[in-house]
Amino acid sequence: MKTKITEMFGIEHPIIQGGMHYVGFAEMAAAVSNAGGLGIITALTQKTPADLANEIARCKDMTDKPFGVNITFLPSTTPPDYPGIVEAVIKGGVKVVETAGNNPSAVLPALHDAGIKVIHKCTAVRHALKAQSIGCDAVSVDGFECGGHPGEDDVPNFILLPRAADELEIPFVSSGGQADGRSLVASLAFGAQGMNMGTRFIATKEAPVHENVKQAILAASELDTRLVMRPLRNTERVLNNAGVQSLLEKEKRLGADIKFEDIIDEVAGVYPKIMVNGEMDAGAWSCGMVAGLIHDIPTCKELIDRIMAEAEDIISNQMMGMLAGKVPA
């Protein structure tokens, strides 16, 4: 299947693995890229630019296919070494960067001068238009269903994706609620040129996370996520657990007086405890509503091959059959 995204990034299938904290290691990115998608290393999971450079090198040892690096720009009094991160990406020969968070305009010239394509994560059409105006090559349009930070507008993909198609000139991919061939075909119908999956890729054999995390996703339904940090206008969709319930109770109790420092124990520094040690009640970790569509733990190749086979069947057989006057089974 060829789309503007497969052509732009040099990949076989229009499927991207989103950047995920303590998930986007070389093993994950290489497995997705070897299966024909675009794997992504998460830069901020690495402690230093030197560590990121080593992770990029490890990924290159595992795949000769294109892969990318996620760079999330966070507001902070002690920000990461972003110039060092960008330098590691450029020197590592990476050809795709997924940016997220704050405006990435400061790094675009250096990345573009190095021949790197930039896809920026957006939760609103106005943000996507801004990304287009500053020179991003593509955007990932994240609906309200997505794990992580869905923004504050609460617009689901059934509305957000066609709105993006109406407004954008650069290609975009869907993100949030993406799991299978149905997701891909629907995204293409809405005008996307591919799809980005996060939670679905955590529940794969190669995902370098504790087995408890994968089993928690399998056990969850579409009703088992919660929105935290909404009072701080930094909303995050997470999987429900005891730590999340404690956080929500604290948010309710403190009301308008809440500060980030009040909930730091439940949201900061918990990813190693959860993803590495499998302490599932340690605090809040990003998970999408798509958990309700996840029922197995395949390899990345099995998953991507299945998605593409399902998509081809829907387009070539079911839909073409309908046009020919056949009632689908």
The model's confidence at residue 78, banded by pLDDT at 50, 70 and 90, is: confident
Assess if residue 102 is contained within a domain.
Answer: yes
DSSP calls for 9-73: HT-SSSEEEPP-TTT-SHHHHHHHHHTTSBEEEEGGGSSSHHHHHHHHHHHHHH-SS-EEEEEEE
**Tens digit of each residue's pLDDT (9 = 90 or more) over 23-45:** 999 999 999 999 999 999 999 99
* pLDDT computed for residue 198 by the predictor: 98
Assess if residue 299 is contained within a domain.
Answer: no
Is 149 a residue whose pLDDT tops 90? yes
**Tens digit of each residue's pLDDT (9 = 90 or more) over 200-228:** 999 999 999 999 999 999 999 999 999 99
Looking at the structure of the chain, the number of domains it has is 2
Assess if residue 77 is contained within a domain.
Answer: yes
Is 268 a residue whose pLDDT tops 90? no
The closest of 73, 66, 14 to 40, measured between CA atoms, is 66
Answer yes or no: do 215 and 200 share one domain. Answer: no
pTM recorded for the entire structure? 0.96
DSSP tally for the chain: helices H, then strands E: 15, 10
| Coil, strand or helix at 120 | strand
Answer yes or no: do 170 and 268 share one domain. Answer: no
Domain membership of residue 277 as a residue range:
211-289
Assess if residue 280 is contained within a domain.
Answer: yes
Is 77 a residue whose pLDDT tops 80? no
Torsions phi, psi for 182 (to 5 deg): -60, -40
Q: How far apart are CA 178 and CA 175, in angstroms?
A: 6
Mean pLDDT for the chain overall: 97
The closest of 77, 72, 85, 94 to 286, measured between CA atoms, is 72
DSSP calls for 239-256: E--HHHHHHHHHHHHHGG
* pLDDT computed for residue 110 by the predictor: 98
User: What's 198's domain CATH number?
Assistant: 3.20.20.70
Q: How far apart are CA 67 and CA 48, in angstroms?
A: 20
